[in-house]
Structure 1
Amino acid sequence: MTTKRLFAILFIFCCTAVGWFILGGALDLRTGQSSSASWDRVSDTWGPVMRQPHPTAYYQAPTEANGRAALRPVSSAIHVSLGYEPKRKGLLWARTYTVGFRGEYTFTNPTPIPQTIFVQFSLPSADASYNNFAYTLNGKPTQATINGTAPITEAVTLAPEEKAVLVVAYDSRGLDSWGYQFGSETRVQKFNLQMATDFRSIDFPEGTGSPTNREQTAKGWTLTWDYPDQIGARPIGMDMPKVLNPGPTAARISFFAPVSLLFFFAILVILCLLLKVDLHPMNYFFLAAGCFAFQLLFAYLVDLIPIGAAFLLSAIVSLVLVSGYLFLAKGRKFASLAATAQFAYMVLFSYSFFFDGITGLTITIGAIITLAILMVVTAKVNWSEKFAARATAAVTPPPMPKAATESY
C-alpha cells in the first residue's frame, strides 16, 4: 500500500460522498414538495388538529363589569375514544385519527333567586365534520344555528340551587393530536375524563397534564383524568403515535452514508495490509459504487413498497454486488470478511435510522468498536515496512551469446 494509492482511495471516497449528499438533497426536495402539496388536502378531507374547549355559562348581573356573571360546571363526566388511522401521502405519513366524544356537564344556579342561565359550548374546529351530533340541555335538543365557529348557546331558567344538565356527543376526525382545554378557568370541580385508545404508544403533548390513572387494555389504554377539586388544571392532550416517514428517513440515511463507507474502507485497507491482498483503487471504485447502489435503490423503492421491504431488498442487492465482486476478484475468504464488514457498517448502521434518538449513539459505538479492532489486529504491524515504497528491482540483461570459435 503506497501513499499514492491511499490518496486515490480518498478521492474515490470523496466523490461517492458528494453523490450521497446530492441524493439526500433530492430526497429532501421531493419530501418538501410532497408535504406542501398534500398536507392541506389531508387536513381538508380528513380533519385538522382537534382542541375541545371546556363549556362555559353565565347569567345577567348588572353589578359585573360586563354585565355577566360567569359560571363553571359543578361536575363534568367526559368520555373520549381515539382510533388511530394513519394515511400515507407521497413520502410522508399523516397521523390521522377518529374521535368519539361524549360530555355531560352540570350547571347550578348559585343565586337565591331564579336566573336565566346561558350555556355555551364550542366545537373543536370549524373545519372539521361532525357525525352523530347530539346537543341537549335538560333533555331538550338545541334549536340554535350551528356553524362550528360561534359557540352553541342555549338558555334555561333555573330556580335557586336548581341544576341544568348539558349533554354533547359527536364523532369526528382529526390530525396529529387531540386535546381538551380549560381556557381561562383556573378551577375545575368534580371533573372526570376517560380516554380510550386503540394504540399502545401514548405520548402527552408538552404543557398538558398526565392522567391520574392508566389501565392497559387488549388494544391500547384507558386513561383517566380525575379532578375532584383542581386549581390550575393543565390542558389534557394526546399525540398520535409517530410513524416512520420514508422520505426523511431515506434522506438521513443518504446524508450519513459517507460515515459508513469511511469505516468500511478503513477495514478493507487494514485487511489488505494484513492478508497481503492487493486491491487497486479501481477495485475501491467499484466497491464504492456497490455501496452507493444501496441508498440509491432504497430512495426510489420507498415510493412503491413499504419502507421495511425497501430497506431489506436494497441491502441484499448491495451485499450481493460487493461480496460477489470481491469473490470474483480476490476469493471467498476475503469476500466473506468484507461482506461481514459491509453488513455491520453499511446495513446495520443505516438500520439505526429506523429508531429515533440512537443514531449518534450508533455512530459512537461503531467508531469505538472499529478503533478497538484496528488497534488489536495492527498492534504488532511494522508500519514502516507496510508503507515503504516498493523498491524497483534492478533488471539484469541476459548475457550476450559467445561468438563461435572458428577452427581451421
Structure 2
Amino acid sequence: MAFGARAVSVGYDTIALGNDARVGSVSSTDGTNTTYGFADFSTAVGADSRISAPFGTAIGKVATVSAQGGSAIGAYASASGVNGIAFGTDADLNDGSRMGASASGANSIAIGTNAASAGSASTAMGQGASAMSDNSVALGSGSSVQSGAGYAMALGSRSTASAAFSSAVGYSASSSGARSTAVGSLAMSRGADSTAVGRGAISSGGRSSAFGFKAVTPGSFAVALGTEASASGTSATAVGGSASAAFANSTAIGYQAQTTDVNQVTVGGTGSSVRVGDIDASTAAQEGQLYSVTVDNEGTLGRGSALATGQQVASLASNMQAIAAVTDAQFSALQADVDTLSFQLDDLDESTRGGIASAMALGGQMIVPDSTISVSGNVSTYRGEQGFAGTVAARVAPRIYVSGGVAGSTAKNSTGGRVGVALGF
C-alpha cells in the first residue's frame, strides 16, 4: 500500500506512507519493460523515507533502510547494515548536509543524534556517539570507539577507546593501549595491558597500574597507589600520597616517600616515623641466630654482626666483673694519691703565705742617725699568716755599714735570716 504523493510500495505486505515515501523500487515505467525492486514486509513512514531491502522499517523524514532487517527511526536516520538499528533525529553537519543516526555495520545499533555504528555487532548510544569497530560499544555523548579497536568499549561523555579489547569509562577517559582499562574522568591507559583508575590517572607503562587522583605509572610493570603517586621505574611500586619510586625494582611506601636507588625500599618521607604494631609478636616469631641492625647517614638499614649468645653474655659479665674489681682498686689508689697531693698543696700554700709574711717583716729595717749600732723589730700579717723579724745594723767605719737579721712566721719551718754590707762613696 502506498499513501501520499508519489509514494511507491513494491513487494509483499509493504507500506509506504508519506509524500515521496518509497518501499522497493520501480526502475522503468515506459510501458514495455518495467523493473521492480521488491522490499517485502517493509514499512516506510515519512516524507522521502526509503527502504530498499526486505524486512525494513523506516520512520521519519528521509529515514533510509538499505540492508535487510534494518530499522531507521528519526529524521535522516540511516540503517545500511544487515539487521542494523538507527534511532535518532537529524542534526546540521559542518558541511551543510544533514544526518541522523547511522547503523552501517551488520547487526549494529545506533541511538542518538548523529550516532554511528559502523562495526559489525557494534553499539553506539548518545549524541555523536560512534562505534567504528566490530563488537564495540560507545555509550555517551561524543563517546568513540575508533576503527581497528575491535571489542573495545567507551562509556561516558567524550570517552575514547582506540585499541582492541580496551575500555574507557568516565568523562574524557581514554584507553589507547591494547587490552588496557581507564576508569575515571580524564583517566588514560596508554600502555598495553595497563590499568588507570581515578581522575587524571595515567598508566603509560606496559602492564602497569595507576590508582588514585593523578597517579602515574610511566614504568613498565609499575604500580602507583595514592593521590599523585608516581612509579616511573621498571617494576617499581609507590604507595601513598605523592610517593615516588623512580628506580627499577624500588618501593616507596608512605606520604612523600622517595626511593634513591635501584632495588631499594623506602618507608615514609621526611619527618615521618616508623612504628611496628606489635613488636612483641615480631620478636616471638624470630628463629635462629639473631643479628644487630645498622643504619647509615642516608637512612639505609643493614644487618650487623651476630648478637651474643647466653654463654657469651655470661662470659662477658664475668670479664666485666673482673674489670670492675681492677678498676675499683685503681680508683682507690688514685683517690689516695689525690688526697696526698691535696695535703701537699695545702702545706705548700701555708708555707708560701708564711714566707711572704716573713719577708714583709724582715724588710722593715731602720738606721738611727748619729748612732753606731741600730736595732729594729718588725711584725707583719699576710692572708692569715703572721710574720716577725729582728735586725741589727752597725757602722764599722765611715761610710761602711754591716747588718743582719732573723725572720719567722706562724707557718711551720718558715724561720730564716740574712746578713749584708753597705758601702758609701
Q: TM-score range by the shorter chain?
A: under 0.3
TM-score (norm 1): 0.20
Query: Which structure's relative contact order is higher, taking Cα pairs within 8 Å and 6+ residues apart?
Result: 1
Larger relative strand fraction: 2
Name the structure with the higher helix share. Answer: 1
Q: TM-score, normalised by structure 2?
A: 0.19
Greater Rg over alpha carbons, structure: 2
